[in-house]
Amino acid sequence: MKKATARSVRDAFGAESAAHMRYLIFSEQAGYENFPNVARLFRALTFAGQVHAIAHYRQAKELLGEYCVYFSAPFILDRTVDNLTKASEAAQEAGEEFYPPLAAAARSQGEMQAAQSFERIAQVKKAHYEMLRNMLGFIEHAAEEPKIGGLYVCGGCGLVVEGKPPGICPICEAKQSCFRLVS
């Protein structure tokens, strides 16, 4: 793996590791505010962050040694409505501004596996942005949170879907059995 791609993979690992923990914290906060469905959505995103972090880490397995990783992350613990706002903004930024340039750079260097991984995760982030925005729309304008169905996370790409998972993941083509129900 070339140096620039390796740096991208490491930094993406750092960003997803932080996202994983941030969503876990947001989930607990939503629970305190009696938003069990929002809490479940954040737990699903927690697992998605784990899927992404592990994918990046495995890609970097040939890079032995110690490295600094660089990423930006919102440090907040506020009301759930604010956490949803920040989370949706972060998902949008990841899908539109963070991953696409990494994918383009990797592709230009012939690092096709890394490029495909970045491109898929960008698609996943855009889908998550839509879910977060929908949830935020309810929370902002209603006293109660909406009831949502089962949330499944694709173990291949981290895509979160509501309801019965598709036969084949639309992003990474993983089988339906690869989707994990989040409780």
Which residues lie near Fe ion (CB under 5 A)? 154, 156-157, 159, 169, 171-172, 174
Residue 167 CB, nearest distance to Fe ion (Å)? 12
Contact assessment for residue 124 and residue 171, using Cβ atoms and an 8 Å cutoff: yes
Residue 119 CB, nearest distance to Fe ion (Å)? 13
Q: Which is nearer to Fe ion, 84 or 127 (CB)?
A: 127
Q: Which is nearer to Fe ion, 87 or 153 (CB)?
A: 153
Cβ-Cβ contacts under 8 Å for 128 (sequence gap 6 or more): 45, 48, 91, 95, 160
Q: Which is nearer to Fe ion, 29 or 117 (CB)?
A: 117
Q: Which is nearer to Fe ion, 1 or 159 (CB)?
A: 159
Residue 37 CB, nearest distance to Fe ion (Å)? 23
Residue 43 CB, nearest distance to Fe ion (Å)? 18
Cβ-Cβ contacts under 8 Å for 33 (sequence gap 6 or more): 79, 80
Cβ-Cβ contacts under 8 Å for 147 (sequence gap 6 or more): 37
Instruction: For residues 179 and 168, give the distance between their C-alpha atoms in angstroms, rounded to a whole number.
Output: 10
Residue 139 CB, nearest distance to Fe ion (Å)? 27
Cβ-Cβ contacts under 8 Å for 30 (sequence gap 6 or more): 36, 38, 39, 42, 80, 83
User: Both ends of the chain: CA-CA distance in Å?
Assistant: 38
Instruction: For residues 153 and 84, give the distance between their C-alpha atoms in angstroms, rounded to a whole number.
Output: 19
Q: Which is nearer to Fe ion, 84 or 151 (CB)?
A: 151
